[in-house]
Structure 1
Amino acid sequence: MMNKYTKMKENSQEYELIRSKRKSLALQVKGDGTVVVRAPLRMSEDKIDRFVREHLDWIEKQKDRIQELSGKRHVITEQERADGIQKALKIFPERTAFFAERMGVDYGRITVREQKTRWGSCSQKGNLNFNWKLVLMPQALLDYVVVHELAHRKEMNHSARFWAIVEQELPDYQKRRNELKKLGQFL
């Protein structure tokens, strides 16, 4: 169930409300400045409104940050896109095969995509998807995403066991993960 509400009261914020079988409230400010609130199915609108009001400062900081980043974001040309995809079609199979052998895991097909919010994913069947934009970053970050997705072949979650698998292959994975978050904002 998804509803979008426009709040007209003082100190209010327009937001999109997404209700689901969750236990807690979550707040997101999208790249276009849209505010999204994820809430449990039966939570009252008053409680949700209060949550948004209590986080107005945080929302404004996120909007300011998005505004600041938009001026620094790299605009990818069609040539860069075409070249990057070709490079990705070559490098992802190579790096995946390399790390899969080291980690003792298998995988299905590899697909290269241009996702807006993900660097990679792993399906239950073991098919891997990678964002071609990773080839625009240092190889250490691309390798981190490959190892992350291959670790899902052993643990299909982000539990402590999952992170131990990643750390076994890449002891500095946290540094790489943080760097990916920083650089990823500009693509």
Structure 2
Amino acid sequence: MDTYELIRSRRKTLALELTRDGRLLVRAPVRLAKREIDRFVAAHEDWIARHLAKQAACPPLPPPDSPETEVLKARAKAVLPGKVAYWSQVMGVQPTGIKITTAKKRYGSCNSRHSLCFSCYLMRCPEEAVDLVVVHELCHIREMNHGPGFYALLERYLPDWKERKKLLH
């Protein structure tokens, strides 16, 4: 990949990010040589190509207007607490709270105090994908990372989580 946008900061590692509009961002430490960055990008060409193809196959939904956002918020407030209660009981975990937001980049999060946050835009996804996000965030109550233990837990409750993940848009 020849073209990318380089963002230097006081970080210690290199990272790749594909934006929704298909631009490749490379985040790099301030003092790292350009040739090292180019080498890193070249080493990840397969990953970049795979994700660009995935993006092209599933274009993002148009951003919702204000009335649609309000409908999605209302639906999230009606649906998500019940799903969280159900899966909490199945998994034997208890979140400290649930919040509905208008986050555009992530469907859910779990903080260190075990409070869950969900984007109302999750309601644009199929129910199987919604359940995946709920279970994913509840797994973080036990495993606050994305290590092997986290994925073993996710697999235990949703053996088909990889298929469900493909339904997220």
- TM-score, normalised via structure 2 length: 0.81
Moved over 6 A (4+): 53-57
Return the alpha-carbon distance in structure 2 between the equivalents of residues 178 and 29 of structure 1: 17
Residue 43 of structure 1 and its aligned partner are, at CA, apart by 2.2
CA gap 1:42/1:126 in 2 versus in 1, 3 angstroms? same
**Counterpart amino acid of residue 103 in structure 1:** M
User: What is the distance in 2 between the residues matched to 1:137 and 1:50?
Assistant: 37
Q: Aligned ranges for residues 122-133 of structure 1 at < 5 Å?
A: 122-133=110-121
Q: Distance in 1 between matches of 2:131 and 2:42?
A: 41
Structure 1 partner of 2:19: 30
Q: Which amino acid aligns with 1:142?
A: V
Report SS of the residue matched to 1:179.
coil
* Pairing 1:40-59 to 2, within 5 Å after superposition: 40=29, 42-49=31-38, 51-52=40-41, 58=48
- Pairwise CA distance, 1:89: 0.9
Matched, 1:77 2:65: yes
Q: Which residue of 2 is the match for residue 152 of structure 1?
A: 140
**Structure 1 residue 50 displacement after superposition:** 5.0
Question: Mean alpha-carbon deviation: is it higher for 29-38 or for 77-86?
Answer: 29-38
Q: CA RMSD in A?
A: 3.0
Tell me, in whole angstroms, the C-alpha distance in 1 between the residues paired with 2:15 and 2:28: 7
User: Would the aligned equivalents of 1:13 and 1:53 in 2 still touch at CA under 8 Å?
Assistant: no
Q: Which residue of 2 aligns with 1:21?
A: 12
Name whichever of 119-128 and 27-36 sits farther off: 27-36
**1:7 is matched with which residue?**
none
Contact 1:141 1:179 in 2 (8 A): yes
Secondary structure (helix, strand or coil) at the match of 1:27 reads strand
Structure 1 residues 69, 42: CA separation in 2 closer, same or farther (over 3 Å shift)?
same
Deviations 1:95-121 (A, max 9, x none): 101111111111111111122221100
Q: Could you state the TM-score of these two structures normalised by the residue count of structure 1?
A: 0.74
Alpha-carbon distance in 2 for matches of 1:50, 1:144: 36
CA contact (8 A) 1:13 1:56 kept: no
Structure 1 residues not aligned, in runs of 5+: 1-10
Distance 1:156 1:14, change over 3 A: closer
| Deviations, residues 108-137 of structure 1 (Å, cap 9, x unaligned) | 111111222211000000110101112122
Q: Residue 172 of structure 1 corresponds to which residue in structure 2?
A: 160
- In terms of Rg, which structure is larger? 1
CA contact (8 A) 2:4 2:26 kept: no
Q: Distance in 2 between matches of 1:95 and 1:86?
A: 15
- Aligned partner (choices 39, 43, 52) of residue 62 of structure 1: 52
User: What are structure 2's unaligned runs of at least 5 residues?
Assistant: none
- Please give the per-residue CA displacement for 1:33-82, whole angstroms capped at 9, x wherever unaligned: 543212245421232245457878957x939x56x836xx3342332211
